[in-house]
């Protein structure tokens, strides 16, 4: 299975999870991003995701590969929806299986943070009042732990 | 003059009124090309807000482009 996918239709997370099962894995961590009913004080009716698919697929694959290499996890996958979504729908699914829990949590966090900043995907919010707006990612990059240079580490 | 293919997404697609076009341009750099398109389509985003991809790979603004290249100016992203 590819490490990253785009889907124009709803996907069953159980199937994505099953694909990550492995006899060497003792831990599994998933993150689901859902469409929320408000953003910055405005009531949201639904979302529209648009992707530059060719580049998004390549970059998504790169991000999940990085997480696997960086945290040494056994399997990982990220699915991102495109098209029109209603409140409560699954917009993004990330799953990681690994020998132990810690690297699964960290890899999951790495993937969602990088997805938000690097994937050429755009989100248009549709508000209950009929207005719409393209939303820009406003989060701080690198919320997952950056690799620290040796000089910044505590001695000993 | 160089013929390039442009693809537009999100607010650039809406402001251009099309998802893509071919353009014959005398622009000597990606920045000049965006300036030309900004004048042509009235794009509201400044070049500083964008990233750029050439032939489906993220590129730096100093990269040269050539005949037949596909160029995509990438507005601020919002996945997840």
Complex ipTM: 0.95
Reference B36, options B16, B14, B51; nearest CA is B16
CA–CA gap between residue B1 and residue A128 (Å, rounded): 48
CATH of the domain at A104: 3.90.1170.40
Q: Establish if A151 belongs to a structural domain.
A: no
* Tens digits of pLDDT across chain B (80 residues): 999 999 999 999 999 999 999 999 999 999 999 999 999 999 999 999 999 999 999 999 999 999 999 999 999 999 99
A33–B53 CB contact, under 8 Å: no
Q: Establish if A154 belongs to a structural domain.
A: no
The pLDDT of residue B38 is: 97
- pLDDT tens sequence across A120-148: 999 999 999 999 999 987 555 655 665 54
Q: Establish if A156 belongs to a structural domain.
A: no
Give chain B's largest Cα–Cα span.
40
| pLDDT of residue A155 exceeding 70 | no
- pLDDT tens sequence across A32-48: 999 999 998 999 999 99
Q: Give percent of chain A with pLDDT exceeding 90.
A: 85
Q: Establish if A73 belongs to a structural domain.
A: yes
Contacts of A115 in chain B (CB under 8 A): 79-80
Phi-psi region of A91 (alpha: psi -120 to 50; beta: other; left: phi over 0): alpha
| pLDDT of residue A149 exceeding 50 | no
CA–CA gap between residue B4 and residue B76 (Å, rounded): 23
Range(s) of the domain holding residue A125: 4-139
Q: How many domains does chain A have?
A: 1
**R_g over Cα of chain A:** 17
Q: Which of B10, B53, B80 sits opposite A134 (nearest CB)?
A: B10
**Phi and psi torsions of A36, nearest 5°:** -95, 155
The pLDDT of residue A136 is: 82
Q: Which of B7, B75, B77 sits opposite A119 (nearest CB)?
A: B77
The pLDDT of residue A146 is: 55
The pLDDT of residue A1 is: 61
Q: Tell me the domains of chain B and their CATH numbers.
A: 2-74 (3.10.20.30)
Q: Establish if A127 belongs to a structural domain.
A: yes
| pLDDT of residue A153 exceeding 80 | no
- pLDDT tens sequence across A61-119: 999 999 999 999 999 999 999 999 999 999 999 999 999 999 999 999 999 999 999 99
Contacts of B80 in chain A (CB under 8 A): 33, 80, 91-92, 112, 115-116, 119, 137
């Amino acid at each position: 299975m590819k490490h990253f996918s785009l889907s124009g239709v709803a996907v069953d997370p159980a199937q994505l999870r099953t694909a990550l099962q492995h006899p060497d894995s003792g831990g599994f961590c998933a993150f689901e991003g859902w469409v929320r009913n408000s953003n910055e004080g405005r009531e949201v009716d639904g979302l529209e995701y648009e992707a530059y698919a060719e580049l998004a697929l390549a970059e998504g694959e790169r991000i999940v590969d990085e997480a696997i290499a960086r945290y040494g996890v056994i399997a990982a996958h990220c699915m991102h929806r495109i098209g029109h979504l209603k409140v409560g729908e699954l917009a993004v699914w990330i799953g990681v299986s690994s020998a132990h829990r810690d690297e699964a949590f960290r890899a999951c966090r790495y993937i969602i943070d990088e997805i938000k900043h690097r994937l050429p995907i755009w989100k248009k919010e549709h508000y209950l009042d009929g207005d719409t707006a393209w939303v820009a990612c406003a989060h701080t990059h690198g919320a997952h732990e950056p690799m620290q240079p040796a000089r910044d580490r505590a001695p000993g | 003059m160089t013929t390039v293919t442009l693809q537009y997404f999100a607010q650039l697609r809406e402001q251009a009124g099309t998802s893509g076009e071919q353009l014959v341009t005398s622009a000597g750099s990606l920045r000049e090309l965006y300036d030309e398109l900004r004048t042509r389509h009235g794009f509201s985003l400044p070049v500083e807000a964008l990233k750029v991809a050439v032939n489906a790979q993220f590129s730096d603004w100093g990269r040269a482009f050539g005949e037949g290249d596909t160029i995509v100016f990438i507005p601020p992203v919002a996945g997840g």
